[in-house]
Structure formats: C-alpha cells, structure tokens
Amino acid sequence: MDNASNCNKTAEVLPNMISTFAGEEAHVRCFSHILHLIAQVNVSTTSPANSMFMSFFFRKRKSSKKVKKNADGLDELIDVDEPDNGDEEDDAVALKEIEADDAQLADDDGYVTHGKAVVYSMHEEAIRYMEAEKAISLDKKEINEALGIMPKVAGLARHIHDSGDLKERFDNLVSGDSTLDGSKRTLDRRVPTCWNSDHACLQAHQYFRTQVEQMIGLTGTKLRAYALSERQWKISDDLVDALRIFEEPTRLFSNASVPLIVNVIPAFDDLRLSLEGIRDDDDEENNISPVMRVAAHAALMMVDKYETMSWECPIYYVAIVMCPDRKMQWLKNRPAYDWRTLKYIKDLVIKYFEDKYQTSALPGAPTEEELRSHSQQVCNPVTVVALGTHNMS
C-alpha cells in the first residue's frame, strides 16, 4: 500500500474484519511512493506541496484571505494570491506552472492525503538544523534564485511544446548545431506526478543550453522571463547530478518481476549515504550550493521518517535475515546497527517464526522429522524446517 492516510486507516481497521490480518505489522509501504515523496515536487493549489527535496527549487503560490462581496451581496472569504518576495516576472512564470499542475492533478486525489503542514515543518526544520550544525545560512536572494529554477525550466519546455511556431524555431536551432550528437531532438516536458520527469526536464534543458539561450534571445518569442542566471545554471547542473541518486532505486522498485521486500532497507541505507554526501560536501572545488545541501538534509529527514516506520512491519528485517546472501551478517556490517539493535532484530525474527510458522505446537501437526523427510521428497522444498534450522549468522 502507498503512504496515504486512507491506507493507514485500512491497516488499522482491517483486522476487525479479517482476523488473520496483522494490521500495522502487515502494512508494507510502497517504496516507489516513498521515493516520490522524497524527490518530487508538486506546486498545485488543489493539492498540497507534498515532497521534500525538489520543494527548494520550485516557487509555490502563497495566498491570504480577503473578504469580498459575492453575487448575492454577502461577504465571502476568498484566497488572494501573493508574490513570494521574488521578481515579478519570476512570480508570473511560477503562477503559470502552478496552473498547469492544477490542470493535470485535478483528478489525482492521492496527492491531497499527504500532510502539507508536516512537509513545511520539516522544510523549516532542515533550514534551522543546517544553520545550527553546519553553519549554513540561506539568504533571501539564494532562496529566491533556487525557487525560480524549475518554473523557468518546466515553463519554457511547455511553451515550446504548445506553440507550433516556437517548436519549429527550436527544431531549426537544434538541426543547425553540428556539435549535438543527434540522440535528442527536443526538450522534455515536466509531468507533476512523476519525480523523474523533473530530472529529464532539467537534463534536456542542460543539454540544449545553447538553443535555450538562443530561443530566449530571439525577437518576438516573449520568453525573456524564462532566462536562468549563471548562478541558477550552476544550481541546475548540480541538481541534475543530485537527482541521479533516485534513478537506480526507482528502476529496481518499478520491476514487478523481482522480489523487492529484501531490498527496501538496503535502498534506504544507500539513499541516506548519497544524501549525506551532498549535505556534508563542503569542498570548495565542488562548490555545492548551500540550498542544495539544505535540500539534501530535508530529504534525509523524510528518509528517516519512513525508515522509522519500517520497524512497525517485521517482514522487512525478517527478509534480510532469511536471505541466503545477507543474513544477520549484512546488518552487522552496517555501522548504524549497534549490538542492542542487532539483538532486537534477531529476537524479532525468532519471535516472528514462532508466531507465524512454528506448527509443532498445534494439535495433529507433523513433527519436525516428518517435515524434513517430506522436504527431501519434493523438487523445490520450501518448508518450515528450512526456516527453523536456518543459520542466521
């Protein structure tokens, strides 16, 4: 199940209807959805901004309340859009992308289930943490520059795709550039429900930088508002590299033919290490943007949130311990697991086996010897004995 509140409620209520369902202990969360929440940004007004990492690079609509007379002459409280303390052109560009997201997400009820207040709270907490622990302070100019990147990148791609004249001009510029290898011919559009479309959109913008800047400079295109500053180009380059860390787990967890449960905790660990590398990179040669490092910590907080939830479902750790090429040794090799945690996991696996699979205590159940004898008679034995006698070390 994904991480929507209705799925949490299902896991809570379903045991009352199906006695064999274990509730939260059986709630295996969709890792692809978790990746989406960590990486993707949604700036819609019909849905909350429900992700972490990319929220630092996409300006969102702010609104306040205002009393206005309705058609019947009665006072009515309405939302009034406010600028986000940025450039007026940037605000206009961002508003267009918000409206485009609204149109695509109007029927996507799943987005409204993730708490906007929680995400904003973690967003601000990440900024405070980096200021206190890493001495990184974000000034208003840095924040506004970063927030303006994705509306400009996604907005330009949308405008070129939606206009026959602009698309023809862009195609001519691409065709006339002999330095391009011809493997790509157009800008990628951003799809608000797919985090990797942000990555593709940015990559294409980066690949066609010469043509993008030429299009913006052409007379009559009215695309000047979509121009990136040099600093924004540098951040967008770093952003393309940073988003690559989400590609491999996305591919892995999108493959329905592979048993994935044993890969969830390792994927969390790999994601954490990569994000920590971005957050802690203070090498002057790399010159990672402070906004990028803060965004990485915000994403780390989301990783920690969902990895903590994994303890509610024992099967994540049972799968690792019972996996022939991992066992307890895989956990012992991870610095994050101290001896207390390792003992807890081992006890958890033993209890899980005793509760779910140890049938010898049931009236009329076969003995362990009978089960072992039976397992030797079948071609592909997967038996309780195999679980019960498995070496977890």
- Poorest-pLDDT segment among 31-35, 113-117, 230-234, 336-340: 113-117
- 148-204 pLDDT tens trace: 998 999 999 999 999 999 999 999 999 999 999 888 999 999 887 776 788 899 999
Task: Domain ranges for the chain, please list them.
Answer: 3-61+88-103+112-312
- 105-163 pLDDT tens trace: 344 444 433 445 555 677 788 889 999 999 998 888 888 899 899 899 999 999 999 99
- 282-318 pLDDT tens trace: 998 888 999 999 999 999 988 888 888 888 888 899 9
Say which amino acid occupies 294.
Answer: V
Which of 292, 179, 283, 185 shows the shortest CA–CA distance to 240? 292
153 close to 237: Cβ distance less than 8 angstroms: no
In the predicted structure, residue 383 carries a pLDDT above the cut 50:
no
Which of 326, 325, 322 shows the shortest CA–CA distance to 390? 322
18: confidence class by pLDDT, cuts 50, 70, 90? confident
pLDDT at position 139 is 85
CA 288 to chain centre: 21
pLDDT at position 326 is 92
Three-state SS sequence of the chain: CCCCHHHHHHHHHHHHHCCCCCHHHHCCCCHHHHHHHHHCCCCCCCCCCCCCHHHHHCCCCEEEEEEEECCCCCEEEEEEEECCCCCHHHHHHHHHHHHHHHHHHCCCHHHHHCCHHHHHHHHHHHHHHHHHHCCCCCCHHHHHHHHCHHHHHHHHHHHHHHCHHHHHHHHHHHHCCCCCCCCCCCCCCCCCCCHHHHHHHHHHHHHCHHHHHHHHHCCCCCCHHHCCCHHHHHHHHHHHHHHHHHHHHHHHCCCCCCCCHHHHHHHHHHHHHHHHHHHCCCCCCCCCCHHHHHHHHHHHHHHHHHHHHHHHCCHHHHHHHHCCCCHHHHHHCCCCCCHHHHHHHHHHHHHHHHHHCCCCCCCCCCCHHHHHHHHCCCCCCCCHHHHHCCCCC
Q: How far apart are CA 342 and CA 266, in angstroms?
A: 15
pLDDT at position 376 is 52
